[in-house]
């Protein structure tokens, strides 16, 4: 990560914590009141091929003893009403501001992958994770809805994993590497504004 990109992340993450602080506190109260504890979900993700971190989100699903792999249709029944509301608006990702401040994430970059996929596809993620993972990015903006539709058809963990490996990983990697080749502060601003625009369109 360049020093310009790190300054960009620190400045805007700090600004958003100040601006969104009351909303984040209200969301903490809402999740606690409607779902109980735990309020947050900490998922292991990889920021480099050999360094993991805990990605923070507001909890949107019922708690089970073991929860692994990407989410397919077989997990849909676990999404709570509050979780569905949070996910639709992407409010569940607000706690990732803490990950940005810590340096685990950037605002813009590839979405941080699960350890199991980094270990299974080291050549792919050895290239993709040369960029610091981000909250949003080119692959998120252009491929996220298609990925959701693909995985929503999967009714078992095995089918979900096969679809994700066959269709999602190669396409997202190609998009992440396009971003990597063209990364700049202006491009990051553009992708952030596209993300904000998409969120408003989802609410209309």
What is the tens place of the pLDDT at every residue in 5-46? 999 999 999 999 999 999 999 999 999 999 999 999 999 999
pLDDT at 20: 95
What is the tens place of the pLDDT at every residue in 87-133? 999 999 999 999 999 999 999 999 999 999 999 999 999 999 999 99
Say if residues 191 and 138 touch (Cβ distance below 8 Å).
Answer: yes
pLDDT at 53: 98
CA atoms within 13 A on the CB side of 187: 13
Residue 118 is part of which domain span? Answer: 3-203
Q: Determine the angle formed by the axes of helices 3-35 and 185-203, rounding to 10 degrees.
A: 20
Domain count, the chain: 1
- Report the SS3 class of residue 40: strand
Angle in degrees, CA 135, 141, 146, rounded to 5: 115
pLDDT at 65: 74
Q: Output the CA–CA distances (angstroms, integers) from residue 145 to 120, 128, 183, in the order listed.
A: 25, 21, 23
Pairing of strands 40-48, 106-108: unpaired
Least trusted range by pLDDT, from 19-28, 48-57, 171-180, 194-203:
194-203
Q: Give bridge partners of residue 56 from the DSSP assignment.
A: 42
Looking at the predicted structure, is the pLDDT value of residue 67 above 80?
A: no
pLDDT at 202: 64
State which H helix or E strand residue 161 sits in. helix 157-163
């Amino acid at each position: 990560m360049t020093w310009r990109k790190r300054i960009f992340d620190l400045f805007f993450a700090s600004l958003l914590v100040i601006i969104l602080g009351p909303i984040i506190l209200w969301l903490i109260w809402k999740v606690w009141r409607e779902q109980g504890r735990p309020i947050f979900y900490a998922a292991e993700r990889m920021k480099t091929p050999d360094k993991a971190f805990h990605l923070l989100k507001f909890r949107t699903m019922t708690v089970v003893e073991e929860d692994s792999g990407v989410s397919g249709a077989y997990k849909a029944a676990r999404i709570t009403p509050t979780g569905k509301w949070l996910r639709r608006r992407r409010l569940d990702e607000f706690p990732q501001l803490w990950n940005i401040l810590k340096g685990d994430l950037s605002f813009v970059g590839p979405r941080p992958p699960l350890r199991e996929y980094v270990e299974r596809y080291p050549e792919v993620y050895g290239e993709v994770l040369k960029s610091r993972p981000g909250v949003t990015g080119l692959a998120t903006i252009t491929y996220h809805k298609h990925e959701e539709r693909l995985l929503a058809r999967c009714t078992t963990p095995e089918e979900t994993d096969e679809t994700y490996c066959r269709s999602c990983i190669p396409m997202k990697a190609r998009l992440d590497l396009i971003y990597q080749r063209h990364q700049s502060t202006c491009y990051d601003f553009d992708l952030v504004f596209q993300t904000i625009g998409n969120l408003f369109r989802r609410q209309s």
